[in-house]
Amino acid sequence: MKKMMTFILAVWSVLALQAQGFQEIKAFAESQKLDITAFAQLIQQQKQVQIIDARSADEFRINHLKGAIQVNVGDEKALQELIGRLDPKVYTFTYSIGAGRSVSLAKKLKDRGFQHVYFMPGGIGKRVGAGYPLESSIDPAKSLTLEGYQKQVASQHLTFVDISSKHCGGCKALHPILDNLEKQYPSVQVLRYELDENLKLVKDLKVKLLPTLLFYKDGQLVWTHDGIESEDNLQKLFQTYASR
């Protein structure tokens, strides 16, 4: 019994520390008031900057901000080596696919004494949607045009669109839900567009967050949602329009 109680207290302590860490990161994130435009302008205003890509090497090879340095935040050794090479007095900017890894990295840098640290709000999807460029290994000419997109969403009476990224955890969690809905409601066309392959389209649609979800009726937008949506709400959405 005593061993069990010791184990329970140990688990509780770990969970309490994790919760405390989450609250600290959340508070840090909320303390930054920059929107995507102010973030981009702040970079341009500095004579010297340090831009850190907090994604994996594979993601970095596909696209990244000009002048960025890549580090996998899950590799503690590589992360500490990079931090040791950075100048804590220079304005430092972090980014990732969303606002997860970049916020965590920015918080670590702040805790290490970096004076000016900012994370990119909304992540890469929001940056592209706001019209700011990325260095991309994929030919932008291959991106679907807005005209082509409009033809596709109007090609069927009902169309659901998912604009997301294979590197976005929340986006991937949504995919099996959409697979099931597609089977349940064959009258609804489900179209999926990958961020990396459609930077121009993401810009033209002014995407604010990944995933971006849209529902069309006869080519007219009738519903939209930025970010993850619950399975119940999506079920109701499909059912409402498919039953008409």
pLDDT at 21 (0 to 100): 66
Give me 77's structure tokens: 């050794």
Query: HEC string of 176-187?
Result: HHHHHHHHHCCC
Query: By the 8 A CB rule, do 102 and 54 touch?
Result: yes
Buried b (16+ CB within 10 A) or exposed e, 90-117: ebbbbbbbbbbbbbbbbbbbbeeebebb
Query: By the 8 A CB rule, do 73 and 61 touch?
Result: no
- In whole angstroms, what is the distance from residue 42 CA to residue 34 CA? 9
Any idea what DSSP says for residue 195?
G
Coil, helix or strand at residue 210: coil
pTM: 0.86
Q: What is the mean pLDDT for each group of 10 consecutive residues in the chain (244 residues)?
A: 38 36 83 94 97 96 96 92 96 93 94 95 95 92 93 98 94 95 97 96 95 97 96 97 86
Bridge-based pairing of strands 220-226 and 212-217 is: antiparallel
pLDDT at 25 (0 to 100): 84
Q: DSSP letters of 64-90?
A: E-TT-EE--TT-HHHHHHHHHHS-TTS
pLDDT digit string, tens, across residues 88-124: 999 999 999 988 899 999 999 999 999 999 999 999 9
pLDDT at 139 (0 to 100): 87
Q: Provide the 10 A C-beta neighbour count for residue 149.
A: 19
How many angstroms from the chain centroid is the CA of residue 167? 8
Q: How far is CA 132 from CA 35, 44, 67, in A?
A: 13, 12, 14
